[in-house]
Copies of this chain bind each other. A is one copy, B any other.
Amino acid sequence: MMQKTIFYHDTDCGGVVYYGNYLKFFEEARTLYMQERGYAISELMKRGLFFVVSRQEVEYKYPVRYADVINVDTKILEVSDIKIIFENTITNQNGRLCTKGRTTLVCINAQGMPTPMGADTKKALSPAQ
């Protein structure tokens, strides 16, 4: 669970968080999630493994506003040899569900080719764990 305060730079002139900026919150949350499980993205990169986003879905249910303090919850829905599907749920300080995101990441090597992430990473990140 990542907690985050909303600043001016997160918002737009509609008075709420810009719809593209939620993807930054998802990136932060899944990075911390992997790091907490011992798989820092910066460490995986040193092993020649990169995760790139191949698909993103977002449902915007309730606006997040300036000075709101949101919770960004992360969960892994599915892991295969080369793919991870994350789900993020954002709620505001009143517990109201604001945004849901589903992000598919593919593991690639330095040449940009899909590459198995390794049995250890796969096991550590699998939902059953």
Chain A residues proximal to chain B, CB less than 8 Å: 5, 7-9, 11-16, 18-24, 27-28, 31, 40-42, 50, 52-61, 63, 65-67, 112
Contact = CB atoms under 8 A, between A and B. Distances in A.
Contact of A50 (B14, B27, B52): B14
A8 to B, nearest CB: 4
Given A7-B24, A13-B14, A63-B112, 19 more contacts: A7-B28, A7-B31, A8-B14, A9-B12, A9-B20, A9-B24, A9-B28, A11-B13, A12-B12, A13-B15, A13-B16, A13-B66, A14-B52, A19-B27, A52-B63, A54-B60, A55-B59, A55-B60, A56-B57
Chain copies in the assembled complex: 4
26 contacts: A5-B28, A7-B24, A7-B28, A8-B13, A8-B27, A9-B20, A9-B23, A11-B12, A12-B12, A12-B13, A13-B13, A13-B15, A14-B50, A19-B23, A19-B53, A19-B56, A20-B20, A20-B21, A42-B67, A54-B60, A56-B56, A56-B57, A56-B58, A56-B60, A57-B57, A57-B58
